[in-house]
Structure 1
Amino acid sequence: MELYGGDEAKAEAACEEVSVLSAIYCAQGELRLLQHSADDGPVVQINSTVGEKRRLDVSLLFHLHPRYPSCPPNISVSSTGLSRTQCHDIRQKLLDQAAALPPEPMVHQLVQWFQQHVEVPEEMSRSEEEKEEQCAAVLLLDHIRSHNRYVGLLQCWTQQLQLSGRLLLGRHILVILQGLRPSIKEFCRLLKTVKVDVDSSGKKCKERMMKVLIETPLSSSCGQGLQGFVVKNYQSLAELTAAFQEINMTQLYQQISPSLSYHGD
């Protein structure tokens, strides 16, 4: 007999699990609920410390999509002390472990397994992938009607893909991204394939009108002020210019200015 009968029951089970996890990981900053959507399922971030000789902070992101726990959660791993390849290896081990578990709430088991089995190297070596050139990109969005859902997904994706981002809301809706080129491309793919917003009739829709205004290698003098994911409103051209100056991307703004004029009213 299936443990959870239908979509509604599964959604309730996921909500109950999040509640239990909140009680277990109750220290400050230990657990964050990044998304709580009935259609897409909750996204939970659990921050854990592993290693005996060398203590290392690692962030685990669990997306409990609507069919969970009939199918395992999507998992992302990030840490400033690990290379991208090391994070990928840990993620794959967690996915393998999740696939081997029975179809029932499993996030706590996965975190425990992670804490007990992940070994932290005494010396961190940067992989070839980590040495890849960092890039910056500016995306132009068509509209944001379902603000909380849309912004929540953008924030979630930047964390999953280890990108820094800034969302500028005004006459033009711009997303500034910084990180590895494959991660930026995956972000753009998600924008065009996931229903992130609603159309004028209130029906859920994908961001098919998104345009990449620029994607360029990140120079040492450009973009050093971009960290995390920040949402910023602007009212005028001067404020938009200042927003790029604040993150040392004035040169990038100058390159996209003609495109913004073209797309203006």
Structure 2
Amino acid sequence: MNNEPDVSDELKVLASIYCKDGEFLLDEESYGLGELSFTVNLEDVGKMISFSCQLNKDYPTSLPILHVSRPTLKRSEFESFRKDLTAFLETNSLINQPMLTELIEWVRRHVANYETSSHQLAAEMKQLPTASTHLLQLDHMRSKSKYISLLRTWAKDLNLTGGVLFIHNMIFILLHGQKCYVKKFIMQLRTQKVDVDSSGRPCKERMLKVIGEFSGLPCSVSQFEVIHFQTDETFKLYFKKAGLSMVFLNILEPFVGKG
């Protein structure tokens, strides 16, 4: 293998990133055969994804041999997926240099886009009895455009609808979808750096409040949107049209009265 010390450094980085038990598995026996194999096992949005990489002696001048195991990914879909992955590596000039971290991250973020059933599953998900509606409150957003962009991305990845709702000087986040996905959204919001502090340094959301949680409520909001409400009446009407009048009456009406 070319640049064996560099490959060793790459593997150490992967082992430090995917450090949970069973996430990163190195096949040390393959090393004596002039190649190197490893497997990464991850749970992504409630589904397991396992991919094995085989590096031959020409790596990184040649691409790794990649095998992806995902229950809902068909053979034809995998071929399309692999073609686009190769194009990504070539377009970003990653061939001839360490690429494993970028490769694995691309796989993790994009594999679901190649499943023909993903849109059907998303539609069916909203009909499941485990559907949950959560209402969150934020204190402020300093880097508003970046913050909102991140929330949009998470909502899309997790098949959640709702939105960021601004009324007077208050900020609410409405989330509707499978409860496990809503919980993951909230966990990411609590643990990742989403905003900046008063000094302009990236920071985590430490003033998030979950002010309402409802199970089994129908919700007609079909996307994740950002809305600035000018009056209390339009704010109330939004929840009425969404089939969430109970949420407004039980949770939000006192807040609006203060606004």
Query: Normalised by the size of structure 1, how large is the TM-score?
Result: 0.53
Structure ID, larger Rg: 2
Structure 2 residue aligned with 1:196: 194
Report the alpha carbon displacement of residue 249 of structure 1 after superposing the two structures with TM.
Answer: 1.2
2:225 counterpart letter in structure 1: V
Report the alpha carbon displacement of residue 143 of structure 1 after superposing the two structures with TM.
Answer: 0.7
Q: Does structure 1 conserve the Cα–Cα contact (< 8 Å) formed by 2:232 and 2:256?
A: no
- Separation (CA, whole Å) in 2 of partners of 1:259 and 1:201: 33
Structure 1 residue aligned with 2:144: 147
Q: 1:160 aligns with which of 135, 157, 182?
A: 157
1:248 paired with 2:243, answer: yes
Q: Aligned-pair RMSD on alpha carbons? A: 4.1
Q: Does structure 1 conserve the Cα–Cα contact (< 8 Å) formed by 2:129 and 2:216?
A: no
- 1:238-263 CA deviation, whole Å, 9 max, x = no partner? 1211221231211111111355259x
Matched positions, count? 174
- Separation (CA, whole Å) in 2 of partners of 1:127 and 1:247: 18
Q: Does structure 2 conserve the Cα–Cα contact (< 8 Å) formed by 1:76 and 1:160?
A: no
**Runs of 5+ consecutive residues of structure 2 not aligned to the other structure:** 10-39, 56-63, 65-98
- Separation (CA, whole Å) in 1 of partners of 2:128 and 2:166: 33
Structure with the bigger percentage of helix: 2
Task: Give the SS at the match of 1:245.
Answer: helix
Report the alpha carbon displacement of residue 131 of structure 1 after superposing the two structures with TM.
Answer: 4.1
Q: Does structure 2 conserve the Cα–Cα contact (< 8 Å) formed by 1:133 and 1:218?
A: yes
2:248 counterpart letter in structure 1: Y
- Separation (CA, whole Å) in 2 of partners of 1:152 and 1:240: 22
Structure 1 residue aligned with 2:20: none
Structure 2 residue aligned with 1:213: 211
1:145 counterpart letter in structure 2: R
Structure 1 residue aligned with 2:75: none
Task: Give the SS at the match of 2:156.
Answer: helix
- 1:158-199 CA deviation, whole Å, 9 max, x = no partner? 122221121112321111110111111111111111111112
- Separation (CA, whole Å) in 2 of partners of 1:168 and 1:147: 13
Structure 2 residue aligned with 1:68: none
CA distance 1:156–1:234, shift in 2 (3 Å):
same
1:211 counterpart letter in structure 2: K
Q: Does structure 2 conserve the Cα–Cα contact (< 8 Å) formed by 1:142 and 1:207?
A: no
CA distance 1:97–1:213, shift in 2 (3 Å):
same
**Runs of 5+ consecutive residues of structure 1 not aligned to the other structure:** 6-71, 78-84
Structure 2 residue aligned with 1:64: none
Task: Give the SS at the match of 2:175.
Answer: strand
- Separation (CA, whole Å) in 2 of partners of 1:251 and 1:178: 14
1:201 counterpart letter in structure 2: S
Q: 2:167 aligns with which of 166, 170, 174?
A: 170
CA distance 1:131–1:143, shift in 2 (3 Å):
same
CA distance 1:127–1:157, shift in 2 (3 Å):
closer
2:164 counterpart letter in structure 1: L
Q: Does structure 2 conserve the Cα–Cα contact (< 8 Å) formed by 1:98 and 1:110?
A: no
